[in-house]
Structures are given as structure tokens and as C-alpha cells.
Structure 1
Amino acid sequence: GVLVRRRSFSSVFEFQGVAPSRPKAAAHDTSSFFSSSDHDGNQQPQFNNDHAPPQHEPQQGGKPFLKPFLGGLFAKHGKSPEPRLPSLDESHHSSSSMFLSSQLPEALGTEWEGDSEDEDVTEERQDEDEKGKEKGTEEKKGVSEEKKEQKKKEVERMSQIMDGKLSGDRYINLMQMANESWDDLKELCSYKFFYVSGNDTLGRPIVVIIQKLIPTYLKMAQLILFILHQMDPIVESPYILVNCQTEISTEAKNRPDFSLLSTMRKILPEKYKVNLKEWYIIHPIVPTKLVFKSLWPWIHSNFWKKLHYVNDAQEVLKNPIFANDSLHLPDFVVRHRQAMPKVFGTPLNEILVYTFQGWSLPEVLESTIFHLCMTGLETEGIFRVNGSHQETQQLKTAYDGRKTVNLFDHNTHSIASCLKLYLRELPEPFLTFEFYETYLQIDELFEQSKEEWREGMSAIISSLPEPNQRALQLLFLLLHKVSKNCEKNKMSPSNLSIVFGPVLLSNPSLDPMTAMSQQNRCNSCIQHMIEDADELFLKQQPT
């Protein structure tokens, strides 16, 4: 997880502020692959109440992987042995003869003993039954092995397609494979993890994916083929995507990783991207955000305007585009609430979410730094000139509420002010109170020996918690890049240190007069760290 994050961070500061150009993929006409009956799974599911979760009881006659195999356990319906008492009706379909011989006397109110011939018949039928069971088990095992081999070949073929080892367009090859496998894949429609809920007020279809309802046995290859098969006719025109990650574990195995998403991004034709108008991810898990952040340098900025992280399904349901009651979600999604502390004023370690992929820094820190690195390096007076107080408070409220913020709609100075406000309201700065005196002592070495200064600073920063190291890396590399453009933005390392010295390096135990007398030393320390940030933070990765 940390490796993925380091890639994304370093790419930002090697980035030159221009989104990489993306060659447009040719749109493919695949409508001839399907008949109208192939898309039964696109119908809106019928719930018992407004938002009841779908039930998944397998239908009679389902395949073995959807319904347990019970054949042979109660399959014997042969003639019952004829007793010495008046004959029984031959149409009586009870269990075995042994069951009859033990139960009939009690039922008829008299004793009944089978003769030797009847016992021989019973034993013979028991032997036949055991042989039938063994034969059925062998046949079932054979079918199971055959299916395993078939699935293995399908995965190998799909891997070759996605790696480009087979001739032809990769998307068309995947669609052909999905069409060929549809007889097996169509049974997934009964799980209702994928459906079209209806059309929004603009007539655009609303595609809903409920990740919790995806069966755990399902291989990722099968899931991709199923979704591609269902999505292909939908993406021919504008559509809305609602992805619910409610109550799914961050350890779930049926979740695409970075490499798979990166490959699919290249394979999918342009119609998927152009016609996607809004993408709502309800109750997003941290790994999802990490993967999207890793893809950030390669995705056009317009995409981020379409992507919305939502922590309360009610926010989506109240959206005006769903005013026609076209969006239907299961009850467990609608009622779920994610209780989270506010971002501003909360210690950094309390708003981190740890997963098997690592952790995530606060959105306010990463998004503002990334945005300013792209668009604000030449803005005159950046960080010195205050932005709009009202706009800064609006940004704070949005980040505290974990709402999606489109920074392209906001003034650069207001974004910079929001970042300063976040740093100012931290209970403890990233450099921590503990090493306040140590920083000032080490900084005295800067003029004497920069190597010794760098070695001492590196040692003390490496002793900080890793989230603090990563946050300092991001912040100081941004300030370093800002200072490199000081001829245009008028913000030299000295000017930046005056702004950030008081919020990054302080000691609450000092009395006001002492703190004021040491402020110049604090600013000098921050200035030197800004000047040497590329050596201190980029070339020497935090431990």
C-alpha cells in the first residue's frame, strides 16, 4: 500500500502541471453480439418494500454451484416387499424396505416379520443404493473437475486477451468471450448485485452495483465478463453509475486491484468514459480511494468532476436528478451511516483508516496540495494573500462532512487559505511539540555544514510517525516548488517561512514572550527545510 502511495506522491512533484494526453480509443459496435433476451439482468429488481434488500434463494433446477446437490439421498421409490398381511398399495412411495418393515407393524396394530426372501431383497436394494451413490459421487466429481478445468482455461484466455497476446481488439475479444459464456453467467442475475434502477429526470439509465451482494465464490474474471456483457448496450448513450460499497470488508478478495483497474482503463472504449455523466460511490472504503489516487496522473481532470464519494445514501436519494423516484436501493444501504470525526481540529492519527493496503491522509491535505501543485505555483502572493473567508469556511464544512469537493470551482487563494486553516487547527503540528528544541539546535548546523544539518534533520524526521512523515513530505515539496517560482509569485523561502513557521514549529509550554523571541529561529528552520526539501524529503524516502 505504501509503495502505491509513494508512486502517486512522487509523480505529483515530477508532474509539470499539464494532464497527460490520452489517445482516444475507437468506439466499437458490438450490438450484433447480443439478442434482446440477453439482458434480463438489466430489469429493475422488485423488493418487498421500498428499500428491502434482494433475497437470493436459488431457484429449483439451478446449477450445482447455485444449489447443493441432493440427488441420491432420497431417490429410491421402488416397490415395497409384499408382506404376509393384506398387500399394500404399490403406489406407496415411502423410504426403504427397512423403513417399511420397522414402521408398518406399529401402523397396522399387529406384528410383521419379513421372511428370508424379503430380507435378501432388502440387502440387494441397499447394495444397489450404495453403488448408485458411489456412481453419482464419481460422476459429480468428474463434472466438478471438468468445470474446474474449463474455468482455468477461461481465466487463461482472459489473461491473454487483457495482456494483448491474442490478435484483435481486446474489448471486442472480451465481449465475444462474455457472449460465449452467457449461459453460465446469466444465473448471476438472480443475485441482483447489478441492475438498472430506472431513468433519472433527464432520461439517463441509472446503473446500480451493490458490492455486498456479489457472491463470494465468484472469480474476478467472471465478474468482469458479466458486467461488460450487461454494460455494453447501456453505455451507447449517457448513463449514471451508483456503486454501493456498504458493509463490505476492506479485506474482500473480489475487489479489483490497481493493476487490473489500470488495464481495464486502457481496454474500455471511449463510450464508457464519455457517456458516464455521474459516478456516485456510496459508503466508499479506503482501498477504493487509494486506487483512484494512484491513477490520478493518468486520468483526465474532467473525470474527477463526475466522481462523488458519499457517506450517506440519503444525500444521493435527495439529489434532484432522482426526484422522479427512479433510484431504488436496498434497505441496508439506505439505513447505513458512517460516523466519522470532523477533519479540522482532529489529531492526524485519529482520522487515518488502516487497511491491508496502508492508510489514507485527510482529503483536505492531499487534494489541496495536489491542486495547488497543478494550478497555483505562479499565483502571486499565494499563501500570503488571504482568500474569501466565506469560501474558505465552505471548503472546511465540505471536508468535515467528507463531501466531494471540486477545487476547480474555487479561488486559488481560498484553497490555500483552507490548507493553512487545517494546519493551524491541528492540536499538534506535524513536526510535533516533543522535538521543538531539537529542531532549533540542529538548524544551527545549516551554515556550518549542510550535510550534517541534513543528516540530523533526516534522523529526527525519520523518528516521527509515518503519517506525519508523509504529510511533511507533501507539504514541503509543495512549498519548495512554490519557492522555485518566486519570480512570478513573489513567495521566496523566507516569505513562506514567515507564513508557515508559527503553524509548523511551536511549543505550547513556552510563555508568550519567550515564544515570540524564538519565532525568528523557528522561521529560519522552516526556511532551510523549504530550500532543501528535494534532498530532505524526495531523495530520502521516509521510513
Structure 2
Amino acid sequence: MFCALLSAPQVHTFRGPHWCEYCANFMWGLIAQGVRCSDCGLNVHKQCSKHVPNDCQPDLKRIKKVYCCDLTTLVKAHNTQRPMVVDICIREIEARGLKSEGIYRVSGFTEHIEDVKMAFDRDGEKADISANIYPDINIITGALKLYFRDLPIPVITYDTYSKFIEAAKISNADERLEAVHEVLMLLPPAHYETLRYLMIHLKKVTMNEKDNLMNAENLGIVFGPTLMRPPEDSTLTTLHDMRYQKQIVQILIENEDVLF
């Protein structure tokens, strides 16, 4: 994702002679000669940045952490369909936590969740989150929820947020489902795939409701504000939209086989 060049241009000062990697012409001046992509390291004139496609391949060496990193950038850098932290956490939860009472609702110790976060940021896919290190599965569920909360652009993106909320307000169930499906198609590929994978997992959680006491509505309450946030930082909007956020996630879980 060309976040530095196209979304939020960052002027860069280059030391020594530098040539634009788009037009191959010299960058004049002593300071602020051009801009650099924070993902792949491409260096271009400020004017040339407007013509560079928004599909660069991020350089893994430039990805300093897993948490708080743009979802699409992380996926492209690792050349995966979904963020590996999502895959690793879900595998661990499904291996030993599906029957755990209050799964996702019960919180693990904050400091241990932070430890998991640091392990992923430091070790990537080699992070050890096994029962030997973290016997409490609520630490792993907490780390997964924290990953989603820390995303600079939520899984359900700011661009699609209002469309999902409007879809949730439709009274007719069939029309509501169709509207939700249409908005899903607007999500970027990495966001769509991450959401799809998570909903398949959460459906498995609900299939163990007899033991874990977590149905789709309960999970909607937990994951609504975790997966979607209004574009404007408004407490009033957030409070007003909470029931619709819950409803959207509930619909996604209950209808994952149809919607995805």
C-alpha cells in the first residue's frame, strides 16, 4: 500500500545525489527533494508520486512491527492472504479454547496480552503462544482482539462503515442480508479475507455454545466495536451505533456460509 506516497505524502530529504525512480531524472535541491514510500522504499519526485500505482510490494525489512501496521501492507509484505497473527491465534484458540466458558468475553491479564503483542512484533510467525507459555487461553483471545483494535484502518474499513450501519437498519431480513453482502464486496481483498476467516472461526465458537455460553449475539457485542469504528472520533456516534455494530457482526457470523 503506497501510504506514504499517495495517501499521506511525506517529504524526504536525501543525502547526496538522488534520482527519481519513476522518471529517472535528478532530484534537485539540498533538502526535501522528493518523497519516499514507507512500505517499499521507492524514492520519487513529489509530482511523480501522483502517477505511481497504488500497488507496491512492501519491503519486509521496512515492516518494523506486526501490531499497529496497516493490514494490507502487512499481508503484502509477508505475501500471505491474511495477517499471520490472525492465523496463529485462531489455530491456538481452536486447538484448546472452543469450549472455554466465556471465550472472547472473559479478559486475560493485560500485561500477558502485551507480552504476546511484543512476541509477535519481535518474532513474527515464530512467536510462541503455546499452552506451555500462556496456559490461559483468554490471553490469546485478548491478543487477537488487541490486534484488531490496534489496526490503523479497521477490518471493516472507514470507507464502508456508514454503508454497513445503514444496511443494519433495514427492517426486512432478506433485503438486509443482501445489503450487507453488497457492502462486503467493497472491502479491500486483505480485509475481506481476514473478515471471512474470522467469521468462519466465530461460527465454530457458536457451535460450542453449550460449553462456552457464547452465541452470535454475545460475540457481536464483543467484536462489533473491535472490527468497526466510525471515521470520526465521536463518542456520541460510537454509542449510537453500538447496537448496529453488534447486529452486523451477528449477521456475519450467522450467515457466513452465504455471505462469504
TM-score by length of 1: 0.34
Alpha-carbon contact 1:344-1:426 (below 8 Å) kept: yes
Which protein shows a greater Rg?
Answer: 1
Alpha-carbon contact 2:219-2:250 (below 8 Å) kept: yes
AA in 2 matched with 1:376: G
The residue number in structure 2 matching 1:465 is 188
Q: CA deviation at 1:339?
A: 4.5
The residue number in structure 1 matching 2:31 is none
Give 1:217-256 correspondences, 5 Å limit.
none
**Is residue 127 of structure 2 the alignment partner of residue 401 of structure 1?**
no
Instruction: Report how many aligned residue pairs link the two structures.
Output: 197
Q: CA deviation at 1:367?
A: 0.5
**Is residue 154 of structure 2 the alignment partner of residue 429 of structure 1?**
yes
Alpha-carbon contact 1:341-1:351 (below 8 Å) kept: no
TM-score by length of 2: 0.69
The residue number in structure 1 matching 2:208 is 485
User: Which whole-Å deviations, capped at 9, do the CAs of 1:497-526 have from their partners, x for residues lacking one?
Assistant: 111111212213153123212211221222
Instruction: List 4+ stretches of structure 1 deviating above 3 A.
Output: none
Say if 1:497 and 1:449 are closer, same or farther in 2 by CA, change over 3 A.
Answer: closer
The residue number in structure 2 matching 1:505 is 228
The residue number in structure 1 matching 2:92 is 371
**Is residue 73 of structure 2 the alignment partner of residue 346 of structure 1?**
no
SS in 1 for 2:153: coil
**Is residue 242 of structure 2 the alignment partner of residue 519 of structure 1?**
yes
Which of 361, 367, 380 pairs up with 2:101? Answer: 380
Give 1:178-189 correspondences, 5 Å limit.
none
The residue number in structure 1 matching 2:80 is 359
**Is residue 144 of structure 2 the alignment partner of residue 419 of structure 1?**
yes
User: Which whole-Å deviations, capped at 9, do the CAs of 1:456-486 have from their partners, x for residues lacking one?
Assistant: 2222212211111110011111111111211
AA in 2 matched with 1:516: L
Alpha-carbon contact 1:369-1:474 (below 8 Å) kept: no
Alignment partners' CA distance in 2, 1:353 and 1:522:
28
Give 1:100-499 correspondences, 5 Å limit.
338-353=61-76, 359-403=80-124, 404-408=126-130, 409=132, 410=134, 411-445=136-170, 448-450=172-174, 452-499=175-222
User: Which whole-Å deviations, capped at 9, do the CAs of 1:406-432 have from their partners, x for residues lacking one?
Assistant: 332222110000001111111111110
Q: CA deviation at 1:400?
A: 0.5
Say if 1:353 and 1:515 are closer, same or farther in 2 by CA, change over 3 A.
Answer: closer
User: Which whole-Å deviations, capped at 9, do the CAs of 1:517-540 have from their partners, x for residues lacking one?
Assistant: 221122122212121122222xxx
Alignment partners' CA distance in 1, 2:233 and 2:90:
31
User: Which whole-Å deviations, capped at 9, do the CAs of 1:250-274 have from their partners, x for residues lacking one?
Assistant: xxxxxxxxxxxxxxxxxxxxxxxxx
Alpha-carbon contact 2:160-2:187 (below 8 Å) kept: no
Give 5+ residue unaligned stretches, structure 2: 1-59
Give 1:58-97 correspondences, 5 Å limit.
none
Say if 1:363 and 1:516 are closer, same or farther in 2 by CA, change over 3 A.
Answer: same
User: Which whole-Å deviations, capped at 9, do the CAs of 1:311-365 have from their partners, x for residues lacking one?
Assistant: xxxxxxxxxxxxxxxxxxxxxxxxxx9453211111112212368xx53432211
Alpha-carbon contact 1:480-1:534 (below 8 Å) kept: no
Alpha-carbon contact 1:436-1:505 (below 8 Å) kept: yes
Alignment partners' CA distance in 2, 1:339 and 1:437:
33
SS in 2 for 1:417: helix
The residue number in structure 2 matching 1:131 is none
SS in 2 for 1:396: helix
SS in 1 for 2:159: coil
Say if 1:510 and 1:351 are closer, same or farther in 2 by CA, change over 3 A.
Answer: closer
Q: CA deviation at 1:389?
A: 2.1
CA RMSD of aligned residues (A): 2.1
Alignment partners' CA distance in 2, 1:399 and 1:365:
11
Alpha-carbon contact 1:424-1:503 (below 8 Å) kept: yes
Q: CA deviation at 1:402?
A: 2.8
Alpha-carbon contact 2:165-2:241 (below 8 Å) kept: no
SS in 2 for 1:528: helix
Q: Which has the higher contact order (CA 8 A, sep 6+)?
A: 2
